[in-house]
Amino acid sequence: MAPAAKDAVSLSPEEHINYAWLSPGEALERHAQGQMKLIPPTWVTLHELMGQRSVATALADAGSKAAAIYDTQLLPPDGLMWLGDVAYPQQNPNENVTAPGARHRLSTASLPWVFERALG
């Protein structure tokens, strides 16, 4: 989340084809509808910004806590998981991905993607 730039936006042709100023919710909705492609780190960041009321509150909140660390592991068949998930390999190396318990994962098998973050 950031205030809109006052200067002209310059895109890197190797990384971008277009840009738009969107709220986190609108970007996630466009992605869910297949109108925009997001990569998982961007999707998770936008999801976490959904509860913020303004750029100022988002920046204040970000400055008041340590940055989250996401050591991404694959979640078969189509997803990702992070520390805190019951099946996270470094946490529970022999646990099945369907085992009951804590969740910290993103299912990317189909749109809309599903983010789960819950204590077990």
Task: Say if residue 118's pLDDT is above 90.
Answer: yes
CA angle 14, 15, 21 (to 5 degrees): 140
Q: Say how far apart CA 1 and CA 60 lie, in whole Å.
A: 11
Query: Could you report the per-residue pLDDT of 21-37, keeping only the tens digit for each?
Result: 899 999 999 999 999 99
- Taking 70 as the threshold, does the pLDDT of residue 1 lie above it? no
Q: What is the DSSP letter of 75?
A: -
pLDDT tens digits for range 24-78 = 999 999 999 999 999 999 999 999 999 898 889 999 998 898 888 889 999 988 9
